């Protein structure tokens, strides 16, 4: 890299999330913003300005101070280290090449800085985000870099069907407090679990997978298509099942340890456990993850029909209890794919235009 540059991933466009179109609530996340110092001198980042454009005019402006940027870079650095700089999550190789990450805003020559994630809500349907970053060299010369990224209302063009039978609970969605939203490839994903009338996901003490209501339930192809990738060999993650009697701190520690082991053993794809990826029309792919080891009934190259049984719900990969993770992406590559907002043709959403955490869903087709 040469020069002082601000770059982001995705670089082509960001997905606008239609939270509630009738009222006018839209939001988007900029997941990876990196500043690269490709000069042979030290540069100190001083400030950053975001401008949001709608109908060709600036409608929202955000100013990020040096103090705020310092905090962001420190926290982002910690997170990147904790997650082993996974390329599919942080895209540092694409954005920085071989340049090492700097933790401080005082950037040494040929280093980069990751400024974390930015969430913006808007009453408009913004079309463009302009990012303007300013720094200073040791000789007090001001340096500046600008990048513009399109914001696109790109909704799925396909008619996906709910991939499960009977009634399921939305356990994670694109809601801000859910983990999915904060990664480019999962931001519009759903996790589904089965619950009993008391809202519990398991019977007995839940220490065995077979006590879980979701475990082993059939997963169906959401739409006809062609199978392009599968993983069927990863054992269930039994060691991180939720235990009613342990403290939250102990549980989080247990999850972190297990996630680190999974990443070390299986790499970038490991967190998904066993999965099926199906290609559909319009360059869209449906993705089913954490499936039960050995349960996958299709192979790469097979064509599948809508609602064809393809696997069983499991607990492989980063999964704290059996559930189905489902999302739609625009590419088969785990390193470049972007999650696409979509809805199920056989599910009617409630007040909002998308499904949310806490809703109970039942497909109109109960067969
Ligand atoms: Zn998930």
Q: Both 9 and 118 in a single domain?
A: yes
In sequence order, what DSSP letters do the residues of 33-80 get, joined into one string?
Answer: EEEEE-SSS-EEEEEEEEEEEETTEEEEEEEE-HHHHHHHHHHHHHHH
Residue 366's pLDDT is: 43
Phi and psi dihedrals of 179, rounded to 5?
A: -65, -30
Q: Both 184 and 127 in a single domain?
A: no
Give the CATH number for residue 130.
2.60.40
Q: Both 246 and 335 in a single domain?
A: yes
Q: Both 138 and 47 in a single domain?
A: yes
311-to-230, 288, 302 alpha-carbon distances in Å: 11, 9, 14
Tokens of 184: 């480019």
288-to-191, 197, 243 alpha-carbon distances in Å: 10, 26, 26
Instruction: Classify residue 282: in a domain, yes or no.
Output: yes
How far away, in angstroms, is 190 Cα from ligand 1 center? 6
Please list the pLDDT of the chain residue by residue as tens digits (367 residues): 678 999 999 999 999 998 888 889 999 999 999 999 999 999 999 999 999 999 999 999 999 999 999 999 999 888 888 877 788 888 888 888 888 888 889 999 999 999 999 999 999 999 999 999 999 998 999 999 999 999 998 889 999 999 999 889 999 988 888 889 999 999 999 999 999 988 899 988 777 899 999 999 999 999 999 999 999 999 998 776 666 667 778 878 888 888 888 888 888 888 999 999 999 999 999 999 999 999 999 999 999 999 999 999 999 998 889 999 999 999 999 989 999 999 898 887 666 667 778 788 776 644 3
How far away, in angstroms, is 191 Cα from ligand 1 center? 5
How far away, in angstroms, is 319 Cα from ligand 1 center? 8
CA distance 159 to 284: 11
Instruction: Classify residue 290: in a domain, yes or no.
Output: yes
| List of long-range contacts for 263-266, beta carbons under 8 Å, 24+ apart | 263/83, 263/84, 263/86, 264/84, 266/234, 266/317
Residue 262's pLDDT is: 87
260-to-16, 196, 231 alpha-carbon distances in Å: 32, 32, 19
- pTM of the predicted structure, to 2 decimals: 0.90
Q: Give the end of a domain, one of 152, 176, 206.
A: 152
Residue 249's pLDDT is: 82
Residue 120's pLDDT is: 96
How far away, in angstroms, is 198 Cα from ligand 1 center? 23
Instruction: Classify residue 49: in a domain, yes or no.
Output: yes
Q: Give the end of a domain, one of 152, 176, 200.
A: 152
Residue 250's pLDDT is: 82
Residue 325's pLDDT is: 97
How far away, in angstroms, is 84 Cα from ligand 1 center? 19
Instruction: Classify residue 328: in a domain, yes or no.
Output: yes
Tokens of 272: 């998904």
CB-proximal residues (5 Å) to ion ligand 1: 191, 325
Q: Both 130 and 209 in a single domain?
A: no
Residue 173's pLDDT is: 87
Q: Both 89 and 179 in a single domain?
A: no
How far away, in angstroms, is 326 Cα from ligand 1 center? 7
Output b/e per residue, 141-150; b: 16+ Cβ within 10 A.
eebebeeebb
Residue 364's pLDDT is: 60
How far away, in angstroms, is 115 Cα from ligand 1 center? 25
Residue 351's pLDDT is: 60
How far away, in angstroms, is 318 Cα from ligand 1 center? 9
Q: Both 319 and 201 in a single domain?
A: yes
How far away, in angstroms, is 239 Cα from ligand 1 center? 18
How far away, in angstroms, is 160 Cα from ligand 1 center? 18
How far away, in angstroms, is 358 Cα from ligand 1 center? 14
Residue 156's pLDDT is: 93
How far away, in angstroms, is 25 Cα from ligand 1 center? 24
CA distance 318 to 214: 16
How far away, in angstroms, is 38 Cα from ligand 1 center? 37
Q: Both 315 and 241 in a single domain?
A: yes
Q: Which domain holds residue 275?
A: 167-362
How far away, in angstroms, is 63 Cα from ligand 1 center? 33
Phi and psi dihedrals of 335, rounded to 5?
A: -90, -20
How many distinct structural domains can be found in the chain?
2
CB–CB of 203/194 below 8 Å?
no
How far away, in angstroms, is 289 Cα from ligand 1 center? 8
Residue keyed to tokens 């997905």: 15
In sequence order, what DSSP letters do the residues of 219-270 get, joined into one string?
Answer: EE-SSSEEEEEEE--PPB--TT---TTS-HHHHHHHHHHHHHHHHHHHGGGG
Residue 119's pLDDT is: 96
How far away, in angstroms, is 172 Cα from ligand 1 center? 7
How far away, in angstroms, is 111 Cα from ligand 1 center? 33
User: How many residues are recorded in the chain?
Assistant: 367
CA distance 273 to 94: 25
Tokens of 197: 């009338």
Q: Both 88 and 225 in a single domain?
A: no
Residue 263's pLDDT is: 83
Q: Both 88 and 145 in a single domain?
A: yes
Instruction: Classify residue 103: in a domain, yes or no.
Output: yes
How far away, in angstroms, is 34 Cα from ligand 1 center? 26
Q: Both 147 and 256 in a single domain?
A: no
Could you read off the pLDDT of 37-87 as tens digits, one per residue?
999 999 999 999 999 999 999 999 999 999 999 999 999 888 888 877 788
How far away, in angstroms, is 56 Cα from ligand 1 center? 37
Tokens of 229: 């990738």
Give the CATH number for residue 177.
2.70.70.10
Q: Give the end of a domain, one of 87, 118, 152.
A: 152
């Amino acid at each position: 890299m040469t020069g002082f540059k601000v770059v982001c991933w995705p670089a082509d466009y960001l997905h606008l999330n239609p939270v509630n179109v009738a009222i006018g609530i839209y939001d988007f996340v900029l997941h990876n913003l990196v500043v690269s110092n490709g000069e042979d001198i030290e540069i100190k980042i001083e400030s950053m300005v975001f401008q949001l454009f709608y109908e060709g005019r600036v409608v929202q402006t955000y100013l990020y101070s040096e103090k705020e940027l310092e905090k962001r870079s420190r926290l982002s650095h910690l997170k990147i280290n904790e997650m082993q700089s996974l390329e599919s999550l942080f895209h540092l190789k694409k954005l920085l090449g071989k340049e090492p990450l700097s933790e401080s805003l005082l950037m040494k020559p040929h280093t980069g800085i990751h400024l974390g994630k930015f969430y913006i809500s808007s009453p408009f349907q913004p079309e463009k985000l302009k990012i303007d970053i300013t720094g200073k060299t040791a000789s007090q010369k001001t340096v500046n870099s600008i990048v513009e990224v399109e914001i696109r209302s790109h909704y799925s063009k396909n008619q996906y069907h709910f991939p499960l039978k009977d009634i399921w609970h939305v356990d994670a969605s694109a809601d801000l407090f859910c983990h999915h939203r904060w990664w480019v490839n999962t931001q519009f994903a759903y996790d589904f679990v089965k619950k009993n009338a008391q809202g519990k996901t398991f019977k007995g003490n839940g220490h065995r997978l077979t006590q879980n209501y979701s475990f082993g339930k059939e997963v169906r192809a959401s739409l006809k298509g062609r199978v392009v990738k599968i993983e069927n060999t990863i054992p269930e993650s039994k060691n991180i099942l939720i235990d009613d009697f342990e403290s939250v701190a102990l549980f989080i520690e247990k999850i972190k340890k297990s996630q680190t082991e999974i990443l070390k053993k299986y790499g970038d794809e490991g967190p998904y456990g066993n999965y099926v990826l199906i290609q559909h029309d319009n360059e869209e792919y449906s993705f089913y993850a954490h499936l039960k080891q050995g349960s996958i009934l299709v192979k790469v190259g097979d064509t599948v029909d809508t609602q064809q049984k393809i696997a069983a719900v499991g607990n492989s990969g980063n999964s704290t209890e059996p559930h189905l993770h489902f999302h739609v992406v625009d590419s088969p590559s785990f390193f470049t794919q972007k999650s696409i907002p979509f809805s199920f043709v056989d599910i009617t959403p409630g007040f909002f235009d998308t499904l949310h955490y806490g809703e109970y869903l039942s497909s109109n087709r109960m067969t």
